[in-house]
Chain A
């Protein structure tokens, strides 16, 4: 190993996303990572390409600097089709603005990268941001690209083509699981690795699993598949007397879902809890956790429930899910969309205290492999590998 690769702490780390504070999973993840890396002694700088319409509240006094490279919006490119569009002057003006924005960002990035000390790392969390970062002169600083969703989920989106176009330039592209990484490798990307998301907090006080409550935490929208959960619960509830399904969350489909609940005659065993700010409280109050999503990446909800020693039943809808839950060991999986099977798994858990306890305790032990410390260690190993 060379001398200048010996840096293990105190690296300059640039964490670059579409925006510094856009509401959503990637922002939560970035700031959690920034905090963890800072605590470990690295010098983190969180960067965003531009502003967002839906900012999240990040609080004040972040222990690391944040910078938005292009305050405002970056105009989308104008590519005219046909004569009529070709004559549109505003389109060309927009392209000029875009060019100027890109030049400005490049200048800022060039300066930041030039000032970085040896051992620096660049982490680009989203492929849209990569379109701009790739234009900067990053010297020899290794660049790590990320895709925070499952391969299948990318496949249905424009991101699929853009990942294939821009991420080959990265020194490493990180997916959430080995299975997703392998699928991208089969798309002829040869720089792919994987990195699981860390568990944000380690609860000192887990659930005692004393209530007859099945909890579900998630937006009330199509992706979370609450309609399928209600169908499953309609089968399971009669076999789980005394149990209540508590739904935490709000969303566009709430009215429709409540109507479905009534139609299925479940009003007596389902409680609509609304959005909660006290997730630990909700988990401590439950004995079983259920997830019925149509698509997931590396679901934090499952990680948290398991850390609270609450056994989970879930649709096996993504590699991240089967990676987190070991079916039959620390939780139960059902084939995606098979509501009868999900119902069966719920009945297995609700009807058997011994099984709940065994799986719940196993879950808490096993999920420790995603603890902050373990995941940070993996990052350090990756940084070292990229310097060899």
Chain B
């Protein structure tokens, strides 16, 4: 359409070095732009492969749209060719393109449109990395979070992340006169010239526009041989790091000059969290010379970063950077292991004054303590099976080409492995692909050395490990360690040990596939073995097989294998299960006496379903019970499977089969919405708590749903045949919000609260509070006052709102705090507080804990309604009430007015309130009784009995069902 351009809208500067093959594709992506007024300015960095000739040919084919230039000598970088391009460009705007990449076809139109609409001098769009050596060309957007929407910045400091993270120059469009006016050029002779250039441009621009559109296709390879890595990805050359540091220094000078301290801070933080770890991950693989140079360079630079920036990092990054400064190799290596394996416990750790430190060194120094404090990680809350103690290979001695003798030591985290513990273990060599073989070797001679346990083992690889030879190329090694019946399973860290030798392998299929097992270091730094073909027969056989699989003849083989795998997946997919449930299972006859129980979606064996179940068992009713659980295995506390009780996984085939044929469903939250209930089944919904917050159709999001969605939800709710309530408040809130008819309401009280009512009666009768066996189980002296802190679950975990150490300091002498939170928001309780602060989050059922506590601290949790039945003091620690009640959902009543206890908002107030409770003041007694009467009017201690009476009778389970609603 346009042949000769006077002033093109955009000049795209295409730089090329020895890439004649791909250059035409890059130029074509410029010519194909939907915006027509675009020219390509090719600059060849003095290639030797004919790239310039290709460029000249393109220029001849597209006169006025393509121009070609060449540098007189090779510049070994990207900066010089781009500088030349700028000098030659004619367009109002300029973009950069590398010869192996492409522009998205609408890139120029979107960039120019945004620039003109906003008046920006610099427009930045999304770059997408495309891995050309992956199946389906995997795409990875480059910092997508910066490019979620159109944005205009009048100062880059408004979005420090942009300045700090997106440091490319290729996904940007610059107004050319802006570049000229500010004399922006790429620096010569340094790697990472983009970093400096983008920083200069960001700082010079008066207005920056961001667009979420993809503008640049950045082609990459996932697996790159070292020699082929693009210049800046070669981190093994020290120049790579020294140039990076030099660039950072120049940017710092620029920031200093412009007085942008906020940006400097953001950049420092990124340097600690990103740049340093990037190099540290590969640190163990480098030689001592590199390591030393690296440490020198980074130490010098890290010294310019103030320690309060370190404070903002995650502990792992803070510890790594600090140990690097101290050049403390012995402790740095475990820290790097932790960096690469965040779930590991990398060190024995040190506890001092209630704080946990990474190592014992450097603690005499205040800065050292600050940097090495890892309390917030919560190592101290991990049991041995939850820790993955770092296990370091100490020696590797191949014996005779068939076996290897290893010694290693395993970290003893915070003394979890006591000196006299009974230790046993095996080394496990396991195929990485799931569901294949595992071989084990005995571990011998454990020695407990305090902070470590040392051991040795001889791996008779050749004789024991029998790979298949085809799909099990990689084998991982794990230590299975048992300490007094507690188990843990860490991998083996190699660090800098040389793994020499390889071992004869005898694949089960045929030795024509592979003949050696070679030790190797896996990506996270662990010992592994790789099956290889070394001998001529094996090399040839393996080669043939791979050729066959990638040939057209192999395609049908691969396809049918995939089809079989897919059929298996499809059968087990949720909707296929639902189909089978409705079409086949629910057509089977109902099984008399089959009762399916579930509590909190299978997360616990607890609450009212449990109380009803236990009442039935007490009466010896001939029922067949099925309890459902969520997860791979039943959580703590579930009944042992037996003749008349099954325990099944939620959503498993046996679960669906039981639901399909059950005579009764009893749960407190809801069986899967997709499952219809057949009319012959009676569903008793016990519910799990009275409501403060709006529920069901009283919630805005349900109200907003279109009618067909609301009808679907209503159908699921209509499955309830009976709905248990404990107060008329429930009828006014829950029953109405779920649009249930009056006939379904079961006014009997909550079965789970029978125990609380009984406890209260007992207490009044005897004038004594019984501690029962639970106190002992939790290791609490029965004479102490027990306070339970049970906050409600929050989506966003707030900062620590209750400091266990401060609590223990003030009340430790005579009061114990039980903390029951969500596992995501678990408080890290230091070991020194044993018996003073106890984490009871894992305890399966809350009701016994309520019975144990002399006072309750909560915020909005429905336990307040239940605990009121005990008539013991409550404190409401509602530090975010405004936020909670004011959110879209809203509440049914104002807790501030109704709360039968002090309403406090700071830890200080909370502690004072607890103090008063301890001293026996009870100003809220009357209000609390009113509260209990209002919200527990039907809780009279016979709820389970009444339900069982009504539906199952005194003894026989075959009695006719209660009336159906």
Listed in ascending order, the chain A residues whose CB lies under 8 Å from chain B are 1-2, 140, 156, 171, 178-179, 181-182, 185-186, 188, 190-193, 222-223, 225, 228, 294-295, 315, 317, 335-341, 385, 387-388
Partner of B113, one of A1, A2, A336, A385: A385
Contact, CB under 8 Å: B890 / A186: no
Partner of A338, one of B9, B105, B706, B890: B890
Partner of B34, one of A191, A228, A315: A191
List, in ascending order, chain A residues with CB within 8 A of B105's CB. Answer: 190
Partner of A186, one of B9, B37, B107, B148: B148
List, in ascending order, chain A residues with CB within 8 A of B700's CB. Answer: 335-339
List, in ascending order, chain A residues with CB within 8 A of B214's CB. Answer: 188, 190
Contact, CB under 8 Å: A190 / B707: no
Report the bound CA distance from A340 to B891 in whole Å. Answer: 11
Contact, CB under 8 Å: B212 / A178: no
Partner of B106, one of A191, A315, A339: A191
Q: Nearest 8 pairs between A and B by C-beta?
A: A337-B700, A337-B704, A337-B703, A182-B149, A335-B888, A222-B707, A190-B106, A338-B700
Residue of A nearest to B888 (CB): A335
Report the bound CA distance from A178 to B152 in whole Å. Answer: 13
Min CB gap A244→B, angstroms: 24
Report the bound CA distance from A2 to B8 in whole Å. Answer: 10
The size of the chain B interface, using a CB distance under 8 A, is 33
Partner of A388, one of B9, B707, B888: B9
Partner of B213, one of A178, A185, A222: A185
List, in ascending order, chain B residues with CB within 8 A of A190's CB. Answer: 104-107, 110, 213-214
Contact, CB under 8 Å: B2 / A179: no
List, in ascending order, chain B residues with CB within 8 A of A341's CB. Answer: 888
Report the bound CA distance from A388 to B109 in whole Å. Answer: 9
A-B contact pairs, 26 of them (CB 8 A): A1-B37, A2-B1, A2-B2, A2-B36, A171-B34, A178-B150, A181-B150, A182-B212, A185-B211, A185-B212, A185-B213, A186-B148, A186-B212, A190-B104, A190-B105, A192-B213, A222-B707, A223-B706, A228-B703, A294-B704, A335-B700, A336-B700, A337-B701, A385-B113, A388-B37, A388-B109
Residue of B nearest to A182 (CB): B149
Report the bound CA distance from A156 to B150 in whole Å. Answer: 25
Interface residues of B in 854-903 (CB under 8 A from A): 888, 890
Partner of B705, one of A192, A294, A335, A340: A294
List, in ascending order, chain B residues with CB within 8 A of A387's CB. Answer: 36
Contact, CB under 8 Å: A182 / B704: no
Report the bound CA distance from A317 to B704 in whole Å. Answer: 9
Min CB gap B697→A, angstroms: 10
Report the bound CA distance from A334 to B213 in whole Å. Answer: 31
Interface residues of B in 136-190 (CB under 8 A from A): 148-150
B-side interface mostly: loop
List, in ascending order, chain B residues with CB within 8 A of A223's CB. Answer: 706
Contact, CB under 8 Å: B148 / A388: no
List, in ascending order, chain A residues with CB within 8 A of B106's CB. Answer: 190-191
Min CB gap A203→B, angstroms: 30
Report the bound CA distance from A336 to B706 in whole Å. Answer: 13
Q: Specify which of B105, B212, B699 lies most central, judged by the most chain A CB atoms within 10 Å of its CB.
A: B212
Say yes or no: is B590 at the interface (Cβ < 8 Å to chain A): no
Contact, CB under 8 Å: B36 / A294: no
Say yes or no: is B904 at the interface (Cβ < 8 Å to chain A): no
Residue of B nearest to A340 (CB): B890
Report the bound CA distance from A1 to B9 in whole Å. Answer: 9
List, in ascending order, chain A residues with CB within 8 A of B707's CB. Answer: 222
Residue of A nearest to B151 (CB): A182
Contact, CB under 8 Å: B149 / A179: yes
Report the bound CA distance from A214 to B105 in whole Å. Answer: 51
Say yes or no: is B254 at the interface (Cβ < 8 Å to chain A): no
Contact, CB under 8 Å: A336 / B704: yes
Interface residues of B in 31-56 (CB under 8 A from A): 34-37
Residue of A nearest to B1 (CB): A140
List, in ascending order, chain B residues with CB within 8 A of A191's CB. Answer: 34, 106
Residue of A nearest to B704 (CB): A337
Contact, CB under 8 Å: B888 / A338: yes
Report the bound CA distance from A316 to B700 in whole Å. Answer: 12
Report the bound CA distance from A182 to B211 in whole Å. Answer: 9
Residue of B nearest to A339 (CB): B703
Report the bound CA distance from A335 to B890 in whole Å. Answer: 11
Given contacts A337-B704, A388-B9, 12 further A-B contacts (CB under 8 A): A1-B37, A179-B149, A190-B104, A190-B214, A192-B213, A336-B701, A337-B700, A337-B702, A387-B36, A388-B36, A388-B37, A388-B109
List, in ascending order, chain B residues with CB within 8 A of A315's CB. Answer: 704
Residue of A nearest to B113 (CB): A385
List, in ascending order, chain A residues with CB within 8 A of B149's CB. Answer: 178-179, 182
Report the bound CA distance from A335 to B700 in whole Å. Answer: 8
Report the bound CA distance from A186 to B37 in whole Å. Answer: 26
Residue of B nearest to A171 (CB): B34
List, in ascending order, chain B residues with CB within 8 A of A186's CB. Answer: 148, 212
Min CB gap B525→A, angstroms: 37
Report the bound CA distance from A315 to B701 in whole Å. Answer: 12
Report the bound CA distance from A186 to B700 in whole Å. Answer: 27
Contact indicator per residue, chain B 1-20, by CB within 8 Å of chain A (1) or not (0) = 11000000100000000000
Report the bound CA distance from A223 to B705 in whole Å. Answer: 9
List, in ascending order, chain B residues with CB within 8 A of A179's CB. Answer: 149
Report the bound CA distance from A39 to B595 in whole Å. Answer: 75
Contact, CB under 8 Å: B1 / A295: no
Contact, CB under 8 Å: A385 / B109: yes
Contact indicator per residue, chain B 214-229, by CB within 8 Å of chain A (1) or not (0) = 1000000000000000
List, in ascending order, chain A residues with CB within 8 A of B112's CB. Answer: 388
Report the bound CA distance from A219 to B928 in whole Å. Answer: 50
List, in ascending order, chain B residues with CB within 8 A of A182's CB. Answer: 148-150, 212
Contact indicator per residue, chain B 622-647, by CB within 8 Å of chain A (1) or not (0) = 00000000000000000000000000
Q: Specify which of A188, A336, A338 lies most central, judged by the most chain B CB atoms within 10 Å of its CB.
A: A338
Residue of B nearest to A179 (CB): B149
Report the bound CA distance from A67 to B525 in whole Å. Answer: 71
Min CB gap B489→A, angstroms: 41
Report the bound CA distance from A298 to B236 in whole Å. Answer: 56
Q: Specify which of B37, B107, B113, B703 lies most central, judged by the most chain A CB atoms within 10 Å of its CB.
A: B703
Residue of B nearest to A295 (CB): B706
Report the bound CA distance from A341 to B889 in whole Å. Answer: 10
Report the bound CA distance from A387 to B9 in whole Å. Answer: 12
Min CB gap B142→A, angstroms: 14
Min CB gap B143→A, angstroms: 14
List, in ascending order, chain A residues with CB within 8 A of B888's CB. Answer: 335, 337-338, 341
Report the bound CA distance from A34 to B699 in whole Å. Answer: 44
Contact indicator per residue, chain B 190-227, by CB within 8 Å of chain A (1) or not (0) = 00000000000000000000011110000000000000
List, in ascending order, chain A residues with CB within 8 A of B36's CB. Answer: 2, 387-388
Report the bound CA distance from A228 to B2 in whole Å. Answer: 58
Q: Specify which of B1, B702, B704, B707 lies most central, judged by the most chain A CB atoms within 10 Å of its CB.
A: B704
Interface residues of B in 685-718 (CB under 8 A from A): 699-707
